[in-house]
Structure 1
């Protein structure tokens, strides 16, 4: 009887190990469409009330995504030691497919690890801070940087100090990204210094 118990227990342990491996190898869950009820993890405000790109992180331990009012905030979550580490997927607004800066879209998500980002541009994120502006198309990112300043980096090249610095000083009111946003979108509508 004892050996049957140990055989059953070791079988259960082996099966659990296989299931853990299967979960690790499973494709990431798809992005969730942004709704009016989504609340930003750091600002505690409705995400749709902010201009610029958004972020969502899907955790293994939560049914609903963790929402962010800026793509930069999503990066912060991945870098801060106190935040959850059971990340299944990270999605950011694809600004190459955004209707406008003020209305970046609710379903145009790109895998954050596949996106190209424009950093140190004139564009300001949802809380008026420096933003990491994501694009699925590297050429669109280059055009945005040429028109709005900044440089293009990949997910793995994102400078930690750029993400975690306290740079939230609003620029001068007339310092907007210029018209000619990629794919003909209205980057001139980019709001700077937009605080809540």
Structure 2
């Protein structure tokens, strides 16, 4: 039989777990400016040399972020079944504030879990693969989708298949 003290202890423990995960989110590192030194995690190429939005991700125990030449690559890292590192936060370029597709910006970062993504458009990312275009504004995402195709989704609505599936190399020009 469960007594009131046991229920109170369990409730306190669950509250602390919830608070600690909230604290981890609140204590996540801020995004940093994209510089010439930033190299893509997968390709090890200077990512400023590539068009389209980028991503930066902080993992527990690492002082510097992992950089991704494409948002798709960052989401592939998150959704990969092999991924086991604790992700503190991921940031993506807000394409609603970008000068252009070729100049996504070096400090217009938004949290990946707060972005609206256009999935399935004709946009190609820095490595020539289909890209997911992130926006802080749902309206700007809808405008982009109306011009370039695709549909607007939140991060948890994007399937692993959408970012892990092989890419057709034909027609990979932007």
- Same fold, judged at TM 0.5 (above): yes
Aligned to 1:117: 117
Does the residue aligned with 2:162 lie in a helix, a strand or coil? Answer: helix
Deviation at 1:169, TM superposition (A): 2.0
- Of residues 158-167 and 137-146 in structure 1, the stretch that sits farther from structure 2 once superposed is 158-167
Unaligned runs of 5+ in 2: 1-15
- Of residues 130-139 and 78-87 in structure 1, the stretch that sits farther from structure 2 once superposed is 78-87
Matched, 1:95 2:92: no
User: Structure 1's 168 and 34: CA in aligned 2 closer, same or farther, altered over 3 A?
Assistant: farther
Q: Distance in 2 between matches of 1:117 and 1:98?
A: 15
Pick one of 15, 19, 24 that aligns with 2:21. Answer: 24
Deviation at 1:82, TM superposition (A): 2.9
Unaligned runs of 5+ in 1: 1-17, 174-191
Aligned to 1:56: 56
Deviation at 1:21, TM superposition (A): 7.9
Aligned to 1:37: 37
- Of residues 80-89 and 120-129 in structure 1, the stretch that sits farther from structure 2 once superposed is 80-89
Aligned to 1:177: none
Matched, 1:65 2:65: yes
Specify the structure having the higher radius of gyration (Cα): 1
Alignment length, in residue pairs? 156
Does the residue aligned with 1:37 lie in a helix, a strand or coil? Answer: coil
Which residues in structure 2 correspond to 1:1-196 (within 5 Å)?
24-26=21-23, 27=26, 28-171=28-171, 192=174
